[in-house]
Amino acid sequence: MTEPKYRRIAAALKDAIAAGEYGPGDRLPGENDLMAAHGVARMTARQALGVLQSEGLAEARKGAGVFVRTASPLRRLSIQRLARRQWGSGNSVWAADTADRDLVVDQVAVDEQPAHQRIAAVLEVAPAAPVCVRRRRYVLDGEPVMISTSYLPTALVAGSPITRPDTGPGGTYARLKDLGYEPVRFREEIRSRMPTAEEVARLALPGGTPVMLVCRTAFTARGDAVEVNEMVMDANAYVLEYDFEA
């Protein structure tokens, strides 16, 4: 089967990016340029540029054109970041991933709300029981890359720093340890989908960009679930790395 023209044009552009002909931040040929160079219709040229945008290689800037993305993916070290030596020494779990890159939390909100059915079932609390809800947005090198929502039983964390925006050194897991509910095991479930309108706005996602959903549950030595953390990530901003022995 003959490959569609827009796919061939997209492949040529990707080869040019890989060869360094177009570097991070450079403007790619526009629709008119591609139409003239390849003798194709505007829709074909638009589809070719759309392929690069959907694969996270390029981003459209209103009124300016399509540019090679400047941000490189953040490698999320999924096992090392949750090790007790990480948060137990007062470091954020995110510090394991970022090295010298600039990752900040620019939005934090903490409140209490009734647990919806799924969260109540995991935390083993009564339906609609109050839970502490922590919402954060993470920004990497000036670009929003993740929104995160944690749920913890209010009866367990009431009055602790977990109910405040700044939980202190080591974050939530260090504070859970202080309360006598140290996490010793974690479970992460991962899937992907297209973002909601709210997620597009909060993450400033280019059109056609999917998100990764990571739902992590923290367990104590007794097997009690003490936190559910639902993360929505820009799929183009992350590489999820799992390194473990056979």
- The torsion defined by the Cα of 135, 156, 79 and 147, in degrees rounded to 10, comes to -10
From residue 51, give the alpha-carbon distance in Å to each of 56, 161, 172. 9, 46, 40
Please tell us whether the domain made up of 74-241 is placed in CATH 3.90.110.10.
no
Q: What is the pLDDT of residues 72-110, one digit of tens each?
A: 777 777 777 777 777 667 667 766 666 677 788 899 999
pTM over 0.85: no
pLDDT of 75: 79
pLDDT attached to residue 236 = 82
| Residue 75, beta-bridge partner list | 239
Please give the C-alpha separations between residue 228 and each of 42, 128, 224, in angstroms, as whole numbers: 47, 15, 11
Where exactly are the structural domains of the chain? Answer: 5-68, 74-241
CATH annotation of 5-68? 1.10.10.10
Distance separating alpha carbons of residues 41 and 127, to the nearest angstrom: 57
**Stretch 161-180: mean pLDDT:** 94
Confidence of residue 31 (pLDDT cuts 50, 70, 90): very high
Per-residue pLDDT tens over the stretch 45-74: 999 998 888 777 888 888 889 998 876 777
Helix (H, G, I), strand (E, B) or coil at 62: coil
